[in-house]
Structure 1
Amino acid sequence: MLSSFTRALKGFREAIPVLLGIILLLGLFETFISEKIIASIFTGNLIKDTLLGSLVGSISAGTPISSYIIGGELLKNHVNLFAVTAFIVAWVTVGIVQLPGEALILGKRFAITRNILSFILSIFVSIATVMTLMILK
């Protein structure tokens, strides 16, 4: 049990610099990108916002916890929940940045197919998730 605690503490210690970096980047983001710019990009259109959220999440790279923090900031800036959910799902499942390495290890055809399917499914999963939340409310 002590070794598990030690490993968890070590993992947390290694995550702190990443989290601090994200917080600093979000500060820069809020300074240079106003709420008006975000509102002009994410218009409230269900389809457009969901596609855009999936696209941005697909080309971004980082740990899943980073996507949750960024998603929270997007929600604070009145970005549609469909877009934020699509962003988080795509961030975690699609890996455009990692595609060359994945293709090298797992094969080009598999890597491309997996990323395309993950992108498409990120859209459907985000819509299904948010609609389920709406039904439960």
Structure 2
Amino acid sequence: MNLPEAARQALADFAHCPGWEQRARLLMQWGERLEPLEETERCEANRVHGCESTVWLVPGHAGERLSFRASSDARLLRGLLALLLVRVNGLTAAELAAVDVADWFAQLGLARQLSPSRSNGLNAVLQRIRALAADASL
């Protein structure tokens, strides 16, 4: 599968990090790239359930191509969300169905640092993304 340009950039950025400390710092920098959500978007309808931290997910699309914006109250999680979004934004619903989150974070060298609760939370976000894509009936 062809990776979106931003996802290729993420792989290149993380490939240069020899250890967890550098990856954690880079992860937080990626989190700062998330477009801020409006206060009105931080509502129950946009909240992702199944995450220990509070996560909001706002869907959008341009034709068949999906786009999402997200935020969280946790800094590391914002970085993980940013990396998830660069992997899925711009895909069609069919392409989105084939995304393997565990493999994506393994490619970034972050799989071992994902606690079970973070991993479950990211899967909850991906499931919500897939549900929103199906609802958009693209």
More strand by share: 2
Q: Same fold (TM over 0.5)?
A: no
Give the TM-score taking structure 1 as reference length: 0.34
Q: Which has the larger radius of gyration?
A: 1
Q: Greater helix percent: which structure?
A: 1
Determine which structure has greater relative contact order: mean sequence separation of CA pairs < 8 Å that are 6+ residues apart, divided by chain length: 2
TM-score (norm 2): 0.34
